[in-house]
Chain A
């Protein structure tokens, strides 16, 4: 279980690189890349995303030096020189805060320490892996399901369409927070469970989009020609319609990553987020929420976690928008 969840970030990054390299061979995407390369904002966003991705990968590769040692990741090892302090301390402070008698700190902490004395920078970096898994793995689960059902509904119409539309309208009518809470209560807490639950609640909008697009393509000349040639339905859908849907699906899926990362912080507030032993920005924000009433206020933990979320989500949003503009200049906003 542990090994699988540690392989996921590596797999996600490898899969994304593979997709990007493979897409270069398609003329549409090669042209899109050229346009994307000229967009400075998109390139900055890409660099930021790569940085977050590499922190997540570094936090997934780990080993134990002794037989009975706990497994430590590269990030853990980088911060092993900064053992936990007693309690809160401000960024770069020399003394602790928030206890009756202040104590001297053993080390300086760039972003301060949290309630149990952990380095805030370390905690923030550990959140990258969780955010990457929840953001991307959910999209990897959702996209094939939405494509499958959306294309079935759009292509065959009639009964199939009615059934699929009924299922997703029912799911969509239940407020998604309610559905998320119940699903997580059934499945238990954990990163993979959150991905599945978010997948169940978010596939509907993508499915609806795919259905609409398939409907548009179904009666186009190229599909009729393929049908006249006697191709099977499956072949028409996969080889002819699917490539035309991919650009819009990929863009929507990219923008969905940011929604998932934002959802993770809300889940933590509702106490059904990632388990507390796994680093997560949502848990950091939730823990820091109660400390704002203190005097002097303890803002650094909240600030660094929410900045981390903000920068990552902003980068994904900017990149997704630039991708949309470069794939289809007509959609340029």
Chain B
């Protein structure tokens, strides 16, 4: 198990380098260092020397290969350097942003998985009835609504009509739960249709297996069959698709945070892209990739936990 994790982490290194290389050169295509210097220097008409000084300060004057090498070295040591626009240390900003992000994404993630699995089992229990077919139809309908409409609708219903939560914004401390409520509901609802439908098919695939028939023949109640026998076996495909959805969680955080004005990593990233803050985007892309890889490793570990037949070697 331990060796397996070590090996997986070593696989991750080339991927991290690949992602960094990709973002590094892609951003050179969006703007040259001189353009960035002009944007970020406070003087209206910066002189040549000022521009050169800015470029030298941010290390954009060295050869590209050397730049990339120093940048990779510092990223792997989690030393993110200074922002191109505000000159603040990026590490501090990210550290401040990680808690709001984590709070909301954990809520969306756990809340989402619990509701999705619950309804999937519920529809599977009533398979072949009107509850099931209408449930499936509602799922398809919910899949067909855009994210933006969920956000606007949520803001209107929760913020304006019911006055349950603020429309946008964030406040740290105990107050934060009021601000996290709406993004959480929107995050869960927008993912509900697709996942519930998928999990339902996983459960139904198991429901016609021989061991289920045996359990029923022995007189095990339908509820016990579903939760004790079927759900355990359907857990593997469900786990896979839950982890496959982690990148979408990141995407969701980019959108949710920038829409609700939550100062998390997602909104820092979106701001940085539009502000052409090259250094910050490199740092967050690196972080997101790590998150993605950690997610993939965690799936494999959870396979082994869910299914005794699978051994990690």
Contact = CB atoms under 8 A, between A and B. Distances in A.
A321 interface: yes
A173 B148 CA distance: 24
B251 A174 contact: no
A265 B148 contact: yes
Nearest to B284: A178
Interface in A35-59: none
B292 A173 contact: yes
Given A185-B30, A270-B270, A317-B144, A292 B288 contact: no
Given A175-B288, A185-B30, A333 B14 contact: no
Interface string A191-212: 0000000000000000000000
B15 A177 contact: no
A174 B144 contact: no
A169 interface: yes
Interface string A137-177: 00000000000000000000000000000100111111111
16 contacts: A166-B14, A169-B15, A172-B292, A175-B251, A176-B247, A177-B254, A178-B254, A266-B148, A266-B255, A285-B149, A285-B152, A302-B152, A309-B146, A318-B140, A333-B200, A333-B204
Given A170-B22, A174-B289, A302-B152, A313 B29 contact: no
Given A166-B18, A178-B285, A289-B152, A333 B30 contact: no
A182 B273 contact: yes
Contact of B250 (A166, A175, A309, A318): A175
B6 interface: no
A176 B251 contact: yes
B148 A285 contact: yes
Given A176-B251, A182-B27, A302-B152, A310 B144 contact: yes
A186 B29 contact: yes
Contacts of A269: 148, 255, 259
Interface residues of A, number: 38
* Majority-rule SS of B interface residues: helix
Contacts of B204: 333
Interface in B240-259: 247, 250-251, 254-255, 259
A173 B288 contact: yes
Contacts of A182: 23, 26-27, 30, 273, 281
Contacts of A171: 22
Contacts of B177: none
B123 to A, nearest CB: 11
A76 interface: no
A116 to B, nearest CB: 21
Contacts of A292: 152, 155-156, 160
Interface of B: 14-15, 18-19, 22-23, 26-27, 29-30, 136, 140-141, 143-149, 152, 155-156, 160, 197, 200-201, 204, 247, 250-251, 254-255, 259, 269-270, 273-274, 281, 284-285, 288-289, 292-293
B285 A174 contact: yes
Given A166-B15, A173-B15, A265-B148, A178 B197 contact: no
B145 A174 contact: no
B288 A186 contact: no
* Majority-rule SS of A interface residues: helix
A172 B296 CA distance: 12
A178 B283 CA distance: 13
Contacts of B292: 172-173
A314 interface: yes
Given A177-B251, A185-B30, A292-B152, A170 B19 contact: yes
A306 B146 contact: yes
Interface centre among B27, B141, B146, B160 (most CB of A within 10 A): B146
Contact of A170 (B18, B27, B143, B259): B18
A181 interface: yes
Nearest to A185: B30
A42 to B, nearest CB: 12
A304 to B, nearest CB: 12
Given A169-B18, A173-B15, A292-B155, 17 more contacts: A173-B289, A174-B19, A174-B288, A175-B247, A175-B250, A175-B251, A178-B288, A181-B274, A265-B147, A282-B148, A292-B160, A302-B152, A309-B145, A310-B149, A314-B140, A333-B136, A333-B204
Contacts of A266: 146-148, 255
Interface centre among B143, B160, B259, B269 (most CB of A within 10 A): B143
A289 B23 CA distance: 32
Contacts of A270: 270
A95 to B, nearest CB: 25
Interface centre among B148, B156, B254, B292 (most CB of A within 10 A): B148
Nearest to B193: A317
Interface string A231-273: 0000000000000000000000000001000100110011100
A265 to B, nearest CB: 4
Nearest to A314: B144
Contacts of A166: 14-15, 18
